[in-house]
Amino acid sequence: MALAVLPRAGAEEAVFDAVPHGVEAYIYGYPLVTMEMTRRVMTNVEKPAGTRAPMGQIVRMREYPTAQFRDVTAPNADTLYTTAWIDVAKEPWVLSLPDADDRYYLFPMLDAWTNVFQVPGKRTTGTGPQKYAITGPGWKGTLPAGVIEYKSPTAIVWLLGRIYCTGTPKDYAAVHKLQDEISLVPLSSYGQPFTPPAGKVDPSIDMKVAVREQVNSLSAADYFTLLAKLMVENPPSAADAPMLAKMAKLGIVPGQPFDGSKLGPVAKDAFSEVPKLANEKIMLWLKEGVVAGDMKLEHGWLFTTKTGEYGVNYIQRALITAIGLGANRPQDAVYPTSEGPSILESYTGAKKYVMHFPKGQLPPAQGFWSLTMYDKDYFFVKNPINRQSISARQPLKSNADGSVDLYIQHESPGADREANWLPAPQDKFILMLRLYWPTETPPSIIDGTWEVPAVKAAD
């Protein structure tokens, strides 16, 4: 029963009703609130610099993210991000992509709820010149010849381009040239000289604390007030109607400040625990999702093929937001993640580990694969060789039988093995294997005909 229709219910019963429903509402809104807080931080600058740029302007990252990068959890260390945040509420924006000369890239477009609604790139549209007009939910009009319409379900759109790069000076230069030829302009300025206005810096935005920490520290009232505000121009889908009805009974209505008066005094006090309880539930889904079938546990690795498009699977969407904001559709990438050799044991820099690939069984991907090291909070690890990931771009050394061993440990395994070394921190760490454009015919991680090898302690 819903709290709003229980005016005579006892305080204890009201609390039992309000808090679980509040946790559901929090989980439902987690992607939208996280995207907004991320957008604020990443666009709170006067001009493009590093990983940030004003609204409507392109971030052209010139090198891989470093261990100091804190804007997004679980960043990628194999591509040069080419990203932008746009608001298509008033008018469309036109994205022009140049000829990429067969280089692997993808330019996923995320709506404000983290759903990937389009993915131009080598897998889907090829690498020739392309032009797209990203239009808002209610836009109707005529586009210039040769410009393809991609309609966004929400006003806020995150263009999260990734261009593969080996990291050598020569390849950096080639990708930099490609990045510089990518353009983004409002439709009203298409085909004309366009100079984007300088961004306005809001001093009230915290630019130091990680976005996830900022979101998780919001009070229930602040969180739900922000969520309700954001839902006006970033409308929920039709399938969300049951959740919206449940939220309304708690005083959470699009366009209105959170109304705590619908909660009784005891329930209102207990409601303050909703953010903590919801965040615990989100992270617990890493394990509970295995039972539900949304996640797969294999040799200590957790992964899913349910990313980028979530429907009403709100807990799955929230988890991916928490640990891998900006995740692609599974056809573009699968991200097996491991916190330890088993579900009961965590990785630690106090031990040495080996990941063994039999001959011919390195990760099957048509784009690229990589194994990335993160600390316990899903951020990069500072290390003496500045290596955040290991992949085929390293000159990996094979064993005599053609197999390949990767050495995962805090200290160097020795000069003869450093090509295969992924440095670890001294304490707990997390591993993520990326398969970009995974093969869909055997061997394939998608159909289960290829399995991720276990990471085993060296002793």
The pLDDT score that the predictor gives to residue 198 is: 96
pLDDT digit string, tens, across residues 312-363: 999 999 999 998 899 999 999 999 999 999 878 999 999 999 999 999 999 9
389 pLDDT band, cuts 50/70/90, is very high
The pLDDT score that the predictor gives to residue 17 is: 78
The pLDDT score that the predictor gives to residue 16 is: 60
pLDDT digit string, tens, across residues 396-429: 999 999 999 999 999 999 999 999 999 999 999 9
Return phi, psi of residue 229, to 5°: -65, -45
Q: How far is residue 150's CA from residue 118's CA, in Å, rounded to a whole number?
A: 7
Cα→Cα distances 317→71, 158, 434, Å: 19, 16, 19
State yes or no: pLDDT of 8 exceeds 50. no
Closest C-alpha among 133, 115, 129 to residue 184:
133
Q: How far is residue 259's CA from residue 278's CA, in Å, rounded to a whole number?
A: 19
Closest C-alpha among 33, 30, 18, 29 to residue 249:
18
Q: How far is residue 300's CA from residue 315's CA, in Å, rounded to a whole number?
A: 22
CATH number of 45-189: 2.60.40.1610
State yes or no: pLDDT of 13 exceeds 50. no
| CATH topology agreement for domains 45-189 and 281-457 | no
The mean pLDDT value for 66-79 works out to: 82
What one-letter code names the amino acid at 417?
Answer: R
pLDDT digit string, tens, across residues 438-449: 999 999 999 889
State yes or no: pLDDT of 3 exceeds 50. no
Q: How far is residue 162's CA from residue 105's CA, in Å, rounded to a whole number?
A: 6
* CATH of 281-457 given 2.40.160.60, 2.60.120.10, 2.60.120.600, 2.40.50.140: 2.60.120.600
Percentage of residues of the chain with pLDDT beyond 70: 96
Domain limits, the chain: 45-189, 281-457
Q: Which residues are within 8 A (CB) of 326 and not within 5 positions of it... i.e. 6 or more apart?
A: 72, 108, 110, 114, 158, 160
12 pLDDT band, cuts 50/70/90, is very low
State yes or no: pLDDT of 72 exceeds 90. no
Lowest mean pLDDT among 3-7, 61-65, 329-333: 3-7
pLDDT digit string, tens, across residues 220-253: 999 999 999 999 999 999 999 999 999 998 999 9
- SS3 string, 293-346, reads CCCEEECCEEECCCCCCCCCCHHHHHHHHHHHCCCCCCCCEECCEECCCECCEC
Lowest mean pLDDT among 75-84, 129-138, 140-149: 75-84
Q: How far is residue 384's CA from residue 64's CA, in Å, rounded to a whole number?
A: 16
The pLDDT score that the predictor gives to residue 113 is: 98
5 pLDDT band, cuts 50/70/90, is very low
The mean pLDDT value for 270-287 works out to: 94
279 pLDDT band, cuts 50/70/90, is very high
State yes or no: pLDDT of 6 exceeds 50. no
260 pLDDT band, cuts 50/70/90, is confident
Closest C-alpha among 160, 154, 137, 136 to residue 42:
160
Q: How far is residue 405's CA from residue 327's CA, in Å, rounded to a whole number?
A: 28
**Terminal-residue alpha carbon distance, the chain:** 56
Return mean pLDDT, the chain: 93
14 pLDDT band, cuts 50/70/90, is low
The pLDDT score that the predictor gives to residue 15 is: 57
Instruction: Name which residue leads in pLDDT, 75 or 139.
Output: 139
* Beta strands at 156-164 and 79-87: parallel, antiparallel or unpaired: antiparallel
